Amino acid sequence: MNFIERESEVFFHTYKRFPLNIERGEGVYLFTKDGTRYLDIFAGLGVNALGYSHPKIIKAIHEQSGKYLHLSNYFLQEPQIQLAEVLTKLSGYPKVFFSNSGTEAIEGAMKLSRKWGSSKGKTEIVSFSNAFHGRTFGALSLMDNEKYKNGYEPFLQNCTSIEFNNGEQLRATVTETTLAVILEFIQGEGGVRPATQAFVNELKLLQEKFNFLVIADEIQAGLGRTGRVFSFQHYDIQPDVVVVAKPLGGGLPLGAILGNEKVAEIFTPGVHGTTFGGNPVACAAGLGTLREIFENGMMTNADTVGAHFKSELLKMKGEFPSLIKEVRGIGLMLGVELTFDGEPIVTAMREKRILINCTAQTVLRFLPPLIIQEQHVTETVSALREVLSSMSIL
Ligand SMILES: *Cc1c(COP(=O)(O)O)cnc(C)c1O
């Protein structure tokens, strides 16, 4: 049996995997066992913010793993405290809870807001179409896409999903009993869709009127990818709770909930917890990662290279008006909506040794490591141009 057959034999068939046998990664490149080099514009779905084998991350992991790999949250742990201090300083949010993953951080944020609302008669959580918040039942209860939900009913009650970027519908939905509104300010899996400023303005007005919590899911867009610490900072709003994960652990599993003063005292000993969350090795790797992003210029790089990338994609839209419907996104979170299924383009790009991904059927998604340089953008865009040219001839 070959590699692909062996995988198929032993796993539940939950993933459509790339047929590549990766041996190692370095910087923005992945290498297969047979020595082929791939440019990675995918970054482990946004996890690998510093690409592969970054010396600072390797060093941090090495040092911490020589001390202890795990103690449990009964113990005070230096790497956790350091990372939490960096996060609070960066974000201005005074409180942190560490989880293992994005979806767990979402569950934690839901529990935090439920507890906050329970003494106030607030029970309803509002979320939006095309949202993606994870795969656990709480997260799924906030999502409307049947692809993720079919057959798993029933979900949590008191969760309402309404149309994204529809301020009127939001106004008609929230009331005094609304406990939280949760959103990605730039939807990721849903097709790289930024919120409009008008919609966010409406949300802010309603937040002031009804005193619900705004929860920002920054798991994909947060921590420098859009050229700001958080994607909500492109808008004039201050969420109460912020959830981060993907790049937080530098490639090791780590998520976090950040909360403002409103919710700072809601969790008390024993009401929430985790065995593995805040793993010290992951925290040490995360600390190294955040230093590179925010102190050594990688967020600024995401901003400048991202702007260049987007302008190149917009040029291409002009060249292929019948194939490209829209170019969206901010910084290094970009999407190209096609007028047709994007999977064949992903495959054609892979044959040109460039890894991208397609989400929401028709949206090519570009989520490169933040260390990417202009030459890599040029390489990606020319390959895409060739692929689209060969299509438009057909
Ligand atoms: C990936 C993602 C999640 C889920 O994170 P997991 O670590 O896979 O549980 C939630 N929200 C957004 C916006 C994401 O991109």
Helix (H, G, I), strand (E, B) or coil at 15: coil
pLDDT at 392: 67
pLDDT at 393: 61
User: CATH 3.90.1150.10 region(s) of the chain?
Assistant: 3-54+297-389
* Predicted confidence (pLDDT) per residue in 270-320, tens digit: 999 999 999 999 999 999 999 999 999 999 999 999 999 999 999 999 999
Mean pLDDT of 114-140: 98
What integer best gives the mean pLDDT of the chain? 97
* Predicted confidence (pLDDT) per residue in 51-92, tens digit: 999 999 999 999 999 999 999 999 999 999 999 999 999 999
Mean pLDDT of 345-372: 98
Helix (H, G, I), strand (E, B) or coil at 302: helix
Examine the pLDDT at 394 and tell me if it is beyond 60: no
The proportion of the chain whose per-residue pLDDT surpasses 70, expressed as a percent, equals 99
Mean pLDDT of 139-149: 97
Helix (H, G, I), strand (E, B) or coil at 131: coil
Examine the pLDDT at 28 and tell me if it is beyond 70: yes
pLDDT at 391: 83
* Predicted confidence (pLDDT) per residue in 181-238, tens digit: 999 999 999 999 999 999 999 999 999 999 999 999 999 999 999 999 999 999 999 9
Query: Would the CB of 102 count as within 6 Å of ligand 1?
Result: yes
- The H-or-E segment that residue 102 falls in is helix 102-118
The architecture of the domain spanning 3-54+297-389 is Alpha-Beta Complex (3.90)
Strand partners, 305: none
What is the maximum alpha-carbon separation in the chain? 65
* Predicted confidence (pLDDT) per residue in 367-381, tens digit: 999 999 999 999 999
Confidence at 178, pLDDT banded by 50, 70, 90: very high
> Ligand 1 pocket: which of 101, 106, 246, 274 to mutate (most atoms <8 Å of CB)?
246
CA of 343 to the centre of ligand 1 (A): 21
Q: How many CB atoms lie within 10 A of CB 271?
A: 10
Q: Which residues contact 53 (CB under 8 A, 6 or more apart)?
A: 24, 25, 26, 27
The fold of the 55-295 domain, in CATH, is Aspartate Aminotransferase; domain 2 (3.40.640)
Q: Count the residues in the chain.
A: 394
Which of 244, 251, 192 shows the shortest CA–CA distance to 223?
244
User: CATH 3.40.640.10 region(s) of the chain?
Assistant: 55-295
Alpha carbon distance 305, 253 (integer Å): 27
Mean pLDDT of 152-165: 98
Q: Which residues contact 156 (CB under 8 A, 6 or more apart)?
A: 137, 138, 141
CA of 333 to the centre of ligand 1 (A): 14
CA of 249 to the centre of ligand 1 (A): 14
CA of 36 to the centre of ligand 1 (A): 30
Query: Would the CB of 226 count as within 6 Å of ligand 1?
Result: no
